[in-house]
A and B are shown apart, each in its own frame.
Chain A
């Protein structure tokens, strides 16, 4: 059996007294798209933030259990969190480009990690923008502010910005919920293209989206991981009645 990219074992998480994630076990395979679905407040976004320790920034959060990335626990005390976030990056619900030029947005990460050579940076910027399928739209305005772009373009800039630091895992927290259908379609196509090189975990409220883009789907309910398996199976023959009710729109 090959080793999973990410392996979550007996994970419990608390916000103060609130038990947000209850004994979650999940294996995420490399080069697959895993969709996390479930009603609001079920813990799917929280779970996503556990995976690159973004919850560290919030006071009163306690995590138990283990999260293995390539077999190595990211919650062990000597883990370098800064380096971890370089390996596992996140795309947020609302596009959040820096108030800088398109070029500086993409070059931000590489510069942070010590690349100064202008030609190398140019190369990375172009490659990342091409990979995020936004190059054609912005190549003439690389030195203008990224804030002037449309929401969908901004989101692809944010994805390009992430690709520029060459992460291994992309976490996407409802990346299309603030976008129109056309922009959503572009992002979904992009996700399909990116999974060849990256492991992708996406939180979504949109059932069709989960069905369209993911290989594996995990269904969360009030902090429990109720069911997970191949997306086809989950959507056609769910074993749990509650999964079926949610997917068919009976609640959520």
Chain B
């Protein structure tokens, strides 16, 4: 077989492979949007869920998902970025670093239901907080952290060595160099990393069933005292997220319009995750352009 033919066959094979991937993913998204898209309306997005009667919405669940995401990112991003900086800038080639990397890999491949049960034991029972947003946020942090650390490390390693050298040559120390040259250059990567991580968490259900809980108290959106049980912002109240809601409606739902709620919620969920990923790309390249002035 001559080289040119081999090249053609290889090209074709890769095209077919990519096409299969796109077809599978594309048809799933299309299926979800086709079945759920028609149920999405302003009422559906804002009204509270119903337990028995028809006509419920997913307003509180959407709010819970975003708020939980916000809480977990509040914990994940600082720790993850610090960990990533350590691994990229300070960690030597030794046994300790290897052990840390092994831990991160293991944590990353942990099934989320295991994280959920761990959360139930530690964040729900041991702390005495019960099913709560804060327990859920901590469980999500366990899932998120390895990803955030890895994204940070990659972003920092991607900063050209020549910039580091330039900074050191002007009499800057290591910390000043990290703060003023390395982190700003790595910033677009950090932002997209954080957003992609967010998207993954938004769809998480298994880790939240036993931590943030499967119910939501009646929320009073005019209650701004965050310690009030009906305040949407109270981190110690239970909170059912959108993904958990989909799971619950499908497994133990009593409402007559179960398909409508489940399909509609699934469509909303996939749209939000899609939005996250596109925002990550868009924002990442926009910041990159602004910072490099090109």
Contact = CB atoms under 8 A, between A and B. Distances in A.
Interface of A: 52, 54, 57, 59, 82-83, 85-87, 89-90, 92, 94, 96-101, 108-109, 112-113, 144-148, 158, 161-162, 165
A92 B185 CA distance: 19
Interface centre among A52, A85, A144, A161 (most CB of B within 10 A): A85
A205 B153 CA distance: 37
B178 to A, nearest CB: 12
Contact of A158 (B166, B172, B173, B293): B166
How large, as a class, is the contact surface on chain B? 20 to 34
14 contacts: A82-B173, A83-B171, A85-B170, A86-B170, A90-B165, A94-B162, A96-B166, A99-B291, A101-B293, A108-B180, A109-B170, A112-B170, A146-B293, A161-B170
B292 interface: yes
Nearest to B170: A109
B169 interface: yes
Contacts of B162: 92, 94, 96
Interface of B: 93, 160, 162-163, 165-173, 176, 180-181, 184-185, 291-294
Nearest to B166: A96
A225 to B, nearest CB: 24
B272 to A, nearest CB: 32
B93 to A, nearest CB: 8
| Most central of A94, A100, A113, A147 by chain B CB within 10 Å | A100
A112 B294 contact: no
B170 A96 contact: no
Given A98-B181, A109-B171, A112-B176, A92 B166 contact: yes
B171 A92 contact: no
A138 B12 CA distance: 51
User: 7 nearest interchain CB pairs?
Assistant: A145-B293, A86-B171, A109-B170, A96-B162, A99-B292, A112-B172, A96-B166
A57 B169 CA distance: 12
B160 A113 contact: no
Contacts of A145: 292-294
A162 B292 contact: no
A59 B290 CA distance: 35
A31 B291 CA distance: 38
Given A92-B162, A96-B165, A165 B170 contact: yes
